[in-house]
Amino acid sequence: MSDLPVAKESGQSAAPANAAPSSLTGLLVPLADRNLLLPNVAVAELITYRAPQPVAGLPSWYLGQVAWRDLRLPLLSFEAASGGQAQVSAGARVLVLNALGGRANVKFLALLVQGIPRSLKVGADLQRADAPLAPLELDAVNLGDEQARIPDLVALEQMLADSGLI
């Protein structure tokens, strides 16, 4: 088979089956000190924040566990994990993420966020931002008047594993 577009009966050509999409749906996730840009498919659900039971002697970025669909998920602060401070505002929520590390016993993680994520289309014209990156940030991008950071979710999950928390 050829990678050339195939003419449909209507006279329109179709993109090859392996062609990259021209845009993706992303979520702009508000944190206390920055915004994260995540692919929509990385997020399982947004739930109401409930203060977890703190556990002494654990890293500051590990906030405890939250209940979700008969599971207990580790709740993390991205800000604290990347060198900042964990904060809980009046509009705090918990973002349930699909785990990406390939561990059979870890399917989801929970991330503390400071509001409701906003859906947006991200195209190939996404502009990189000239900004210093914190630990766990892969890149920074400009989204009009806003900047967003692209998090390293695999590394965040690895921090949990390295700490013996998963």
Other CB atoms within 10 Å distance of the CB of residue 136? 21
CB 48 within 8 A of CB 103: no
Give 43's strand partners. 97
pLDDT in the model for residue 21: 65
C-alpha span between 116 and 49 (Å, rounded):
11
Nearest to 109 by CA among 117, 101, 100, 97: 97
- pTM for this entry: 0.83
Helix (H, G, I), strand (E, B) or coil at 25: strand
Q: For 23-162, which CATH superfamily applies? A: CheA-289, Domain 4 (2.40.50.180)
Read off the DSSP letter of residue 122: E
Mean pLDDT of the chain: 87
Beta strands in 49-163 (DSSP E): 62-68, 71-76, 93-98, 108-113, 118-123, 127-128, 137-143, 146-151
pLDDT digits (tens, 9 = 90+) for 6-62: 333 444 444 455 666 678 899 999 999 999 999 999 999 999 998 887 778 899 999
Q: What is the pLDDT of residue 98?
A: 95
**Sheet (strand 118-123) strand order:** 118-123, 23-30, 35-39, 146-151, 137-143, 127-128
Can you read off the two tokens belonging to residue 17? 């089956």
Q: Where are the domains of the chain?
A: 23-162
Residue with tokens 């979700």: 68
